[in-house]
Chain A
Amino acid sequence: MNTILIDHFINDAPIEIGVFDVDMNFIKCSNQWLKKMGKDIQEVKGKSYYDVFPKTSTKIKEIHSHCLKGSFSSFEGEKTILPSGKIQWLNWKINPWKTEEDKIGGLIIVSEDVTHKKNEEEYRLKAQAIAKIGGWEVNLITNNVYWTKITKAIHKVSEDFTPSLEEVINFYKKGYHRKKIITYISSAISSGTPWNAELKIVTNEGVEKWVRTIGKPEIVNDKIVRLTGTFQDIDDRKKAEIQHQETLKRLSIATKTANIGIWDFNIKKGVLSCDDSMYLLFELDRDNFSNVFEAWNSAIYEDDRKRVLNEMQESLIHEKEFNTEYRIKSSNGDIKYIKSIGDLHRDENGVPVKIVGAKWDVTEFKKAELELIKKKESFAGVFDNSAVGMALVGLDGSWLKINKSLSSSLGYTSKELMKLTFQDITHPDDLVVDLKLLQELIEGKRDGYQIEKRYFHKKGHIIYVILSVTKVSKIDGNISHFISQVVDITSRKKAENKVKSVLKITSEQNKSLTNFAHIVSHNLRSHSTNLSMLTGFLINEEDEKEKKQIVKMLSDSSESLNETITHLNEVVSVKLNVLGKLEKVNIVDVLNNVRKSIITQLNDNNVTLNVKIEKTHCVRVVPAYLDSILLNLLTNSVKYRAPDRKPIINITTRKVNNQIVLTFSDNGLGIDLDKHRDKVFGMYKTFHKHKDSKGIGLFITKNQIEAMNGRIDVESKVDKGTTFTLIFNMN
């Protein structure tokens, strides 16, 4: 080989090659190497390798000197730092060359730049480390197992751990996972089938972990000699995935249970799809329809179809959500209300791609709603048109709403009444009870109450009502308002009062009649028995003198009987038809007349008469009765005067409401009221020994006053005097 050719060969070699002398000085160097070094041949020729590459490691230097002794060396992946500072990965091949004398003349060094390759490898390893992908290998001839670092890390075993095939299998979780890996390995060995599976292992630390295991058999001469593969930790992803699936499953159970149909309308394709729930919801058989739209179309009410389709269209045009209700025919012919909502989904460019929605049965809800509306309407109808007064009353007593009946029975217009509270129109005597009950209602002690109470009519008169109050609760249990029902019972009450007063009169009359009957029977009997007794004596009496005495007694007795009958007659006539004979008379006038008629008697007994009667005081009486009353009181005062005192009689009147109260008092003997109060006005009751005492005057007086709807009362102290209080009506 000639020298020039060799020169060219070295210079132009497409590899990095250099020729060195025994002192490691450059003799020749390929252009490619120079280019990498960024140098000229003149700059390196004759210079020491170690000067050109000052950062050459001691290890390389040792190899150099070793090779200079005649050895060949080749090593891979040596990291070299170039003069420019760049890192270079090089594969080295170093040969000694020999002179013609067969002596070592120096070294030929060939380096191959594997930086690119090396980087890729490093990236791959890094990627594997990040993805937690390890590698493994099983030599089926030796049964040796090789695990990469990452594989070991995934198994949580130390780096010097070398497992057996059995140990490898035992890392898989007992049961399903272990059985599965055994199946994969055996079928790979027996029939060369590769596998790719996600299984669970239990690490050396006892933690369960999801892994992806990929295995591939290697075949040499139709024989499977090795299994290689990867081993990836997918625990985080798998757990997330399982969780996601569980969520989906739950959602699916939820929608199925709630009978919620999920639907999906693909806008581009114009296709509507649905899950099975929709068919269940619509009570349709999926097999009877070629597509979902057809099924939907058959179920929906004719009247609602067009509207719903329009709404769908609207929501597409305006790109807004979809929310509607429509009716469908259920299999038994009933109407079912369906609520359907949909949400627009857009792609990454914001273009609407589909509407996803849900639909469910709202029939029950709808029915309740319709029922409520009906109730509200019927309540409003009852409220407005009821003959019973009704009001919705707020917690503060103000009217929220009142009906016509209420305002009209109280004499107000609705507007006027709305300005008042129920407290304003309630009779003050009834307010306390009403408010007390209302308070109990508010405090939850009762659910309602009913009372009879009085309101004031606009004109001032009393309206009797039966008030029923019930409370209306809000959804949170607190009271919203009250419903008051007011039944006007004024006319009923008036009738009732009338009946009551008639009953009172009747019972009083009945009582006085019974009394009267006894009085009559007693008084008549005493005379009749006397008469019969005396007659009996007379028949048998022989003695003329005695006979005369008996006849005298008979005469007295019949006289008494006559007198008694006259008295009784008087009493009866007092009570008869009095009211038709009432006249308005002036008291002073009447008194003066009476006084005149007994002036002699008054003067004889030195009676002082003090009269203080208003001249205008008139009363509505039977004039003869008033005469008789005043006469009786005056003569009584004279009759029962105290023997040791000059008689003084005071007569006064005063007006109370529509009545005249006449007070008549004397300073006479008085009556022991502790003993006789209930007998003072009784028939034939006398309290003093007096020849004219018959016990008839006060009895008649009381009867006369009461017959004129008046009253008489007495106060008296023995030996001090007696005061009669008489009450007369003015009208």
Chain B
Amino acid sequence: MKKVNSSCIIDDDPIFVYGTKRIMKQVGFCENIYVFENGLDAITALNKMTDEGRELPKLIFLDLNMPIMNGWDFLEDFLKIPNHNREDVTIYIISSSIDPRDIERVKTYTVVSDYILKPVTPKDLHNLLVDVA
């Protein structure tokens, strides 16, 4: 199976982050995993990468409900990143919310590939890799 070079998890729940990282390792998902507690930390880091001319993570797993900057606000700001290799980035929303309003809203962002309901399973990641590769 093809590996992804680097991916990014944006979530304030440390347990979710632990679990996801563990599953990623299990399926041999990728080399580098960036983790951010909220949207603001993530967008700051991504902007910095762009400024330094480094490649953005190929995949981003984004939570919606976070303090300081939530997933929605991150998406708005992400679209404003100067067009480096942003278009190669695939974003997946990973949330506990089963609120249909959230699911509808996600569909309005073309940058978002899919909505994955927590918890993330090895099977989810497997399918996802097939899609990306």
Contacts and interface: CB of A to CB of B under 8 A. Distances in A.
SS of A interface (majority): helix
Given A537-B22, A553-B18, A686 B67 contact: yes
B32 to A, nearest CB: 21
B99 interface: yes
A688 interface: yes
Contact of B65 (A522, A533, A675, A693): A522
B125 to A, nearest CB: 13
Given A684-B65, A686-B68, A689-B68, A525 B15 contact: no
Contacts of B99: 518, 521-522
A716 to B, nearest CB: 16
Nearest to B66: A686
Nearest to A525: B96
A556 B67 CA distance: 19
B118 A526 contact: yes
A532 interface: yes
Nearest to B64: A522
Given A522-B99, A526-B118, A687 B15 contact: no
A687 B65 CA distance: 12
Contacts of A530: 13, 15-16, 19, 119
A689 B99 CA distance: 27
A557 interface: yes
Interface string A687-704: 111000101000000000
A679 B16 CA distance: 24
A693 B67 contact: yes
Given A533-B119, A686-B68, A525 B98 contact: yes
Interface string B27-54: 0000000000000000000000000000
A529 interface: yes
Contact-size category for B: 10 to 19
Nearest to A557: B15
A534 interface: yes
B118 to A, nearest CB: 5
B88 interface: no
Given A518-B99, A686-B67, A693-B67, A526 B13 contact: yes
A523 B73 CA distance: 20
A516 to B, nearest CB: 12
Q: Which of B15, B65, B95, B96 has the most CB of A within 10 A?
A: B15
Interface in A274-315: none
B85 interface: no
A537 B120 CA distance: 13
A125 B14 CA distance: 155
B5 interface: no
A339 interface: no
Contacts of B67: 684-687, 689, 693, 695
A533 B67 CA distance: 23
A523 B119 CA distance: 13
A693 B73 CA distance: 19
Contacts, number: 59
A144 to B, nearest CB: 133
B113 to A, nearest CB: 21
A687 B68 contact: yes
Contacts of B68: 686-689
B65 A532 contact: no
A342 B98 CA distance: 102
A362 to B, nearest CB: 81
Contacts of A556: 15
B86 to A, nearest CB: 22
Nearest to A524: B96
Nearest to B97: A522
Contacts of A533: 15-16, 19, 119
A553 B15 contact: yes
Contact of B96 (A526, A688, A689): A526
Contacts of B97: 518, 521-522, 525
Nearest to A693: B67
A316 to B, nearest CB: 103
B5 to A, nearest CB: 26
Interface string A465-487: 00000000000000000000000
A124 B95 CA distance: 144
A476 B97 CA distance: 76
A518 B97 CA distance: 7
A521 to B, nearest CB: 6
A537 B49 CA distance: 33
Contact of B16 (A518, A521, A526): A526
A534 B19 contact: yes
A322 B119 CA distance: 114
Interface in B112-133: 118-119
B92 to A, nearest CB: 16
A525 B118 contact: yes
Nearest to A550: B18
B20 to A, nearest CB: 9
Interface in B54-78: 65, 67-68, 70, 73
A522 B117 CA distance: 11
A687 B40 CA distance: 11
A318 to B, nearest CB: 100
Nearest to A537: B22
Interface in A655-695: 675, 679, 684-689, 693, 695
Contact of B98 (A521, A532, A679, A688): A521
A556 B99 CA distance: 26
Interface string A146-188: 0000000000000000000000000000000000000000000
A693 B119 CA distance: 25
Interface in A526-576: 526, 529-530, 532-534, 537, 553, 556-557
A682 to B, nearest CB: 10
Given A518-B97, A521-B98, A522-B98, 10 more contacts: A521-B97, A523-B96, A525-B96, A530-B15, A533-B19, A534-B15, A534-B19, A556-B15, A557-B15, A687-B67
8 contacts: A522-B96, A522-B98, A530-B15, A530-B16, A530-B119, A533-B19, A684-B67, A689-B67
Closest 7 CB pairs of A and B: A686-B67, A526-B96, A525-B96, A529-B119, A518-B99, A530-B15, A533-B19
Interface of A: 518, 521-523, 525-526, 529-530, 532-534, 537, 553, 556-557, 675, 679, 684-689, 693, 695
